[in-house]
Chain A
Amino acid sequence: DTGVSQNPRHKITKRGQNVTFRCDPISEHNRLYWYRQTLGQGPEFLTYFQNEAQLEKSRLLSDRFSAERPKGSFSTLEIQRTEQGDSAMYLCASSPIRGGYSYEQYFGPGTRLTVT
């Protein structure tokens, strides 16, 4: 068990460009979550998957954001036409299901996005 990994760790992009982040969860975990975190704030929910199904997406998330989890393994988060307000740490977490519920989440190191 190598934990949750995320790539890249840092991304600097120019406004208007598209970016894609990857998350590799702990292999036996069914659930995968994406969060965004800015300095001094708690992680803000973006979306989550159970296996390959995307079960919920934040209403705060614009159509520029899309996530996939093909085959229920790794996941990608794409941001199209980036804006300076997208600058943040993007965190991925995976979670096992016990008795139908997720009790704890294991976070990756995050991808820090800077939009110039």
Chain B
Amino acid sequence: GQSLEQPSEVTAVEGAIVQINCTYQTSGFYGLSWYQQHDGGAPTFLSYNALDGLEETGRFSSFLSRSDSYGYLLLQELQMKDSASYFCAGSGSGGYQKVTFGTGTKLQVIP
């Protein structure tokens, strides 16, 4: 099975950089995704790591290290609209690709 742990809350200042970590225990793990969810909204896909290393998409970057069972989401030039919950999600491998979401991190951006 899969379990993914994240810090429950993070606070950061507008314009700064913040890193949200995700550690996982899984069997048959294939890749790690990140999703953003504003209060009352649906999750929105941000990025995906199938390979170790850093993936950059605009202000957001995501990193994966399979050997350490660890990944993170990096948000740069924080804006007030980035205040939301962020979830990592692990994808299974092989013929069955159930997706398991992490515990979620609520990010508060302050002026």
Contact = CB atoms under 8 A, between A and B. Distances in A.
A75 B105 CA distance: 30
A98 B35 CA distance: 19
Interface string B73-98: 00000000000000101010001111
Nearest to A47: B98
Contacts of B100: 45
Interface stretch (A10-18, A63-71, A102-110): A102-110
B96 A56 contact: yes
Q: Is the interface of B mostly helix, strand, loop or mixed?
A: strand
Contacts of A107: 42-44
A60 to B, nearest CB: 11
Interface string B19-30: 000000000001
A100 to B, nearest CB: 9
Give the interface centre of B89, B91, B99, B102 by most chain A CB atoms within 10 Å: B99
Given A91-B42, A101-B30, A103-B50, A56 B98 contact: yes
A67 to B, nearest CB: 14
A43 to B, nearest CB: 5
A102 B42 contact: no
A108 B42 CA distance: 7
15 contacts: A33-B99, A40-B104, A41-B103, A42-B89, A42-B101, A45-B101, A48-B98, A48-B99, A55-B97, A56-B96, A56-B98, A93-B43, A102-B99, A105-B33, A107-B43
Given A48-B99, A104-B45, 12 more contacts: A41-B103, A43-B43, A43-B87, A45-B101, A91-B42, A101-B50, A101-B97, A104-B48, A105-B33, A105-B45, A107-B44, A108-B42
